[in-house]
Structure 1
Amino acid sequence: MSVITEEEKTNHGGGVAPEEKKPTQSRWRLNSPLSQVTLMGFVCFCCPGMFNALSGMGGGGQVDPTAANNANTAVYTAFTVFGVLGGAFYNVLGPRLTLAAGCSTYVLYAGSFLYYNHHHHQAFAVVAGALLGCGAGLLWAGEGAVMTSYPPPHRKGTYIALFWSIFNLGGVIGGLIPFILNYRRSSAASVNDATYIAFMCFMFGGVLLSFGILPANSVIRDDGSRCSAVKYSRPGTEFAAVLRLFLDKKMLLIVPAAWASNFFYSYQFNNVNGLLFNLRTRGFNNVFYWGAQMVGSFAIGYIMDFSFKSRRARGFTGISLVAVIGTVIWGGGLANQHGYTFDNLPVKKLDFKDSGKDFVGPFLLYMSYGLLDAMYQSMVYWLIGALADDSQTLSRYSGFYKGVQSAGAAVAWQIDTRKVSLMSQLVINWSLTTVSYPLLVILVYVFVKDEGDADDVNGNKV
């Protein structure tokens, strides 16, 4: 049966007729969950993926990180508000308008650093950062709804891993851009104009791709069922629903994990990659940082979907594994941090070609941070996806997660701006992630049910 026929039936309000309840011909038709999650991955490949690569350069590719730190503070402060409200916008406007509006702000942000390269006035970067925070809230709420509600309930970990890998491929390609374009500038302080222009071109591609994302009731799974029969909400309804999230016990248990999940970026990007390595090597390192994220997301996705028959057992296993790996990696970070402070920085920054064995340890640590980031965030997204199955609820949950996450990041970038000691920053990051693990275990124990066991608290079969 053709895609057009399915959509026509949806537009006329009809349900899925019994004869339509049969396996579809291809998983790669545009209205399949696999195609939609893949397309969503490429939208984020172009926009947040490139933004991550730009941030991963340390100081946005500038010698002085102050402008980038202040711009990122503006990003995450605005993101705090629009992250929480993003689900409401998504439920009112639908995916295409929400995502296109969000993606467009990334282009402006990269352009502000192109301007800064010539004029060194940070006001434009800060304003562009605030606008990006608004747009990112919209984008990530839409992304969360697609990634957690479109896949079949028993394969959410696999689809999350697929999305996360495509998204972080953007970071890999984004790391190659400054590496290649600045390869012969090993002593340069800031990246060249071509680097920022390349980022802007990719980001504009994300705007165009976002128009291919379909609403949930137009997406048909392989068994012929639709993801959910969504009727777009009203602003008043969404505002009340958002306020209720702050009293929702499930969301309160996720708060520490959300706060921690972007808090460590300022430390890793500015104070590991930025302080220890020269310009071209930062781009080289980011290729492996984001490449390790692809590996980490697939590893944890497999465990969360296939390790045990029981969904709750898979949740407990995933949390425990991330906790152990996280402890080992942050322990390695502690050993590395004993080697330098703000007042005692290396005389010569490490270069991937010239530094020999001195390069290997810090490089492997930085790559391991990327691995842990993907495992940690993919695990949390899986837990959010296990709490409900409809896109409206999950867009609100995802928006709440991103809002709290952004509040933590805004604080973290200012901590770095104020030159809080590097050891203190590491201890704070390690402590925040450690505190979150037992609360996530409680979340699984109380609120995550095995498939078919019972209805969840929202009345959805899980």
Structure 2
Amino acid sequence: MVGLPRYTSPMTQVVLVGLVCFLCPGMYNALNGMGGGGQVDRTTGNNANTALYSTFIVFGIAGGSIVNLFGVRWTIALSGLSYALYSGSYIYLNHTGNGSFTIAAGAILGIGAGILWAAQGMIMVSYPREDEKAKYIAVFWIIFNLGGMLGGILPFAINYHADTDSLSDGVYIAFVVLECLGALLGLALAPPSRVVRDDGSSVVLVKYTNAGKEAIEIVKLFLNPLMLALLPMCFTSNFFYSYQFGPVNASIFNLRTRGFNNIFYWGAQMVGAYALSFLLDNTRMTRRKRGLIAFIVVAVFFNVIWGATLKMQLKYTHGPLPNGETTDYPGGLIDFLEHKRAAGPIILYMLYGVGDALYQNFAYWIIGSLTNDNQKLSRYSGFYKGIQSLGATVAWQLDAKNVSYLDQMIGNWVLLGISLFPMFYVVATLKDHSEDAVPAKDEAESIEDVEMN
């Protein structure tokens, strides 16, 4: 009889943080995927996302150090509440039409999200052994994106017969409740100092850190040649969300079909993550060879779907407008029951989800291949999310400023192409084992003075 994983095992902790992200960022992703936070006028949603990612830049980069100083449990729990505040702000927007609270809540969410994702990244890529990192990333990604699927089902079901173009209060209330549960679940995480791998090795911690040391380490991130080489990858990794969620999903599909699309978008993420993990954890090949094959898969896949997107984008210039004018997509807004019209665009949108999972899982695997030190990885993860947020800030403002859909689409494709060259360089320099791995005999000493919360 197979027993349940130990509470202090890395897998249990990755599952727990996956469930937190299922309930918090997963719900946010579902809401965001509706375009404009589920509002017919995307201006407030776009400006809220700009505020969110503006603070995310700072607290993403600093988030790793904050987690190193204060531990994972309370930082994740408190950060989770910022997601509930953001979803709740749309109820106020529904009743007042005043977007200032939503934009302010977006800025607060950027603080919480930056810290939460730094903690999540550290747990996901530092807890497993080197030959298990892709599997753990995939496990997290699958649980996390189940949240996006559930979040797609909620508006799809609740608004199935609705004749409005904005989400109802009931959808937002459901999101708030789920996100509060996610915040509470963060308190169930074990301190990293108690986590023990199945082979008996402990998660490695350095003896001591303080604010001064962490400030210095943040500066060093921008002097690290490998981190600088990964800047374009980080910048591009969420840039496409504003285009996919706004100029595509919110512009050519009706409200219930946007929710329907999100079910398959986030579901496809799970398929992409699971498939890639088999390649990246295949120890019959060197780490460098695995990385180069994955690089080719990612590069080819993204170029194919952006080529298909260009063909579709040339058919229209705008989505529904606040003055009541509908999209100029041929035939008007698509409903998922219009099988002939809907099949191609819906399948393409689903493939966007596969591509997102391939790109981001590969990015995390690259970062996890650079070191096994969990404090370094918390900083690296924070750096990744911070620079990612810088790209997202720019992208959401492009849509908020009504930059043409075609220009947004071409900009995404060009940025992807630019990111591939330095990404290839980093992958080509990977070694089979991280040089800073701590010998087993030193592990007990490395945690004896540390009990992180």
In the TM superposition, residue 437 of structure 1 has moved relative to its aligned partner by 1.7
Distance 1:39 1:431 in 2: 37
Cα distance in 1 for residues equivalent to 2:357 and 2:108: 26
* CA deviation after TM superposition for structure 1 residue 230, in Å: 4.2
Which of 422, 426, 431 does residue 439 from structure 1 map onto? 422
Name the counterpart of 2:361. 378
Deviation at 1:231?
3.7
The answer as to whether partners of 2:205 and 2:375 remain within 8 angstroms in 1 is no
Q: Does 1:31 align with 2:15?
A: no
- Equivalent position SS for 1:315: helix
Q: Which residue of 2 aligns with 1:165?
A: 142
Please provide the CA RMSD for this pair. Answer: 1.4
Check whether the contact 1:137–1:399 (CA below 8 A) recurs between aligned residues. yes
- Counterpart-to-counterpart distance in 1, 2:30 and 2:318: 24
Kept after mapping to 2: 8 A contact 1:149/1:389: yes
1:403 paired residue number: 386
CA distance in 2, matches of 1:413, 1:71: 9
Q: Report the CA distance between 1:307 and its aligned residue.
A: 7.0
Alignment correspondent of 2:198: 222
Is 1:255 equivalent to 2:231 in the alignment?
Answer: yes
Q: 1:324 aligns with which of 297, 300, 305?
A: 300
> Match of 1:432, as an amino acid?
L
Q: Using the TM superposition, give the Cα deviation of residue 215 of structure 1 relative to its aligned residue in structure 2, in angstroms.
A: 2.5
**How many Å separate the matches in 2 of 1:284 and 1:300?**
25
1:281 aligned to 2:257? yes
3-state DSSP of counterpart to 2:230 = helix
TM-score by length of 2: 0.93
2:90 paired residue number: 113
Residue 184 in structure 1 maps to residue 184 in structure 2: no
Separation in structure 2 between the aligned mates of residue 61 and residue 280 of structure 1, nearest angstrom: 10
SS of the counterpart of 1:226?
coil
Deviation, 1:214, is 1.8
Q: For the Cα contact (< 8 Å) 2:155–2:256, is it kept in 1?
A: yes
Distance 1:37 1:241 in 2: 26
In the other structure, the counterpart of 2:450 is none
> How many angstroms apart in 1 are the aligned matches of 2:275 and 2:423?
19
2:241 to 240, 265, 269: 265
> 2:221 is aligned with what amino acid?
L
Residue 144 of structure 2 aligns to a residue in which SS? helix
Post-superposition Cα deviations, 1:134-187, rounded to whole Å, max 9, x if no partner, equal 0001100000100010111111001100100100010000000000111111x3
Q: Secondary structure at the match of 2:295?
A: helix
Separation of aligned partners in 2, 1:148 and 1:120: 42
In structure 2, distance between residues paired with 1:229 and 1:79 = 26
Q: Secondary structure at the match of 1:349?
A: coil
Distance 2:303 2:219 in 1: 35
Structure 1 residue 390: Cα displacement: 1.5
Task: Report whether the alignment pairs 1:303 with 2:279.
Answer: yes
Q: How many residues align?
A: 430
Residues 183 and 215 of structure 1, relative CA distance in 2, 3 Å threshold: same
How far apart in 2 are the matches of 1:142 and 1:63?
34
Tell me, yes or no, if the aligned pair for 1:32 and 1:219 is still in contact at 8 Å. yes
Q: Secondary structure at the match of 2:190?
A: coil
Please report how far the alpha carbon of residue 216 of structure 1 lies from its aligned counterpart in structure 2 after TM superposition: 2.1
Check the 8 A contact 2:204/2:438 in 1, yes or no: no
Say whether residues 1:428 and 2:418 are aligned partners.
no
**Consecutive unaligned residues in structure 1, runs of 5 or more:** 1-24
Amino acid at match of 1:348: G
Moved over 6 A (4+): none
Amino acid at match of 1:399: G
Contact 1:292–1:368 (CA<8 Å) still a contact in 2? Answer: yes
SS, match of residue 309 in structure 1: coil
Q: What's the CA shift for 1:26?
A: 5.3
Instruction: Report the Cα distance in structure 2 between the residues aligned to 1:320 and 1:114, rounded to whole angstroms.
Output: 45
Query: Which residue of structure 2 lines up, in the alignment, with residue 9 of structure 1?
Result: none
How far apart are the structure 2 equivalents of 1:316 and 1:213?
35
Which of the residues 156, 159, 162 maps onto 2:133?
156
CA distance in 1, matches of 2:7, 2:180: 21
TM alignment of 1:439-458, pairs within 5 A: 439-446=422-429, 448-451=430-433, 456=435, 458=436
Q: Secondary structure in 1 aligned to 2:363?
A: helix
**Paired amino acid for 1:179:** F
Q: Displacement, 1:29?
A: 1.2
Q: Deviations over 1:268-313 (max 9, x none)?
A: 0011100000001100000000000000111111111117421111
Q: Specify the alignment match of 1:352 in structure 2.
A: 336
Q: Which residue of 2 aligns with 1:291?
A: 267
Match of 2:396 in 1: 413
- What is the percentage of aligned positions where both structures have the same residue? 49
In the alignment, which residue of structure 1 is the partner of 2:324?
none
CA contact (8 A) 2:9 2:197 kept: yes
Letter in 1 for 2:308: G
Secondary structure of the 1:449 match is coil
Match of residue 60, structure 1, among 25, 29, 37: 37
Choose 306-315 or 125-134, whichever is displaced more: 306-315
Contact 2:205 2:374 (C-alpha < 8 Å) held by counterparts = no
| Separation (CA, whole Å) in 1 of partners of 2:190 and 2:236 | 32
Alpha-carbon distance between aligned partners in 1 of 2:437 and 2:333, rounded to the nearest angstrom: 57
Q: Which amino acid in structure 1 is aligned with residue 407 of structure 2? A: S
Amino acid at match of 2:245: F
Q: Is the 8 A contact 1:217 1:230 kept in 2?
A: no
Matched, 1:335 2:311: yes
In 1, the alpha carbon distance for the partners of 2:86 and 2:271 equals: 29
1:306 is paired with a residue of what secondary structure? coil
Asked whether 1:69 is paired with 2:46, we answer yes
Report the equivalent of 1:196: 172
Q: After TM superposition, give the deviation of residue 229 of structure 1 in Å.
A: 3.1
TM superposition shift of 1:27: 6.2
Q: 351, 376, 386: which one pairs with 1:368? A: 351
Of 185, 209, 220, the residue aligned with 1:209 is 185
One-letter amino acid of the counterpart of residue 217, structure 1: S
Q: String of CA shifts for 1:333-362, please: whole Å, max 9, x gaps.
A: 111111111297235210011x22111111
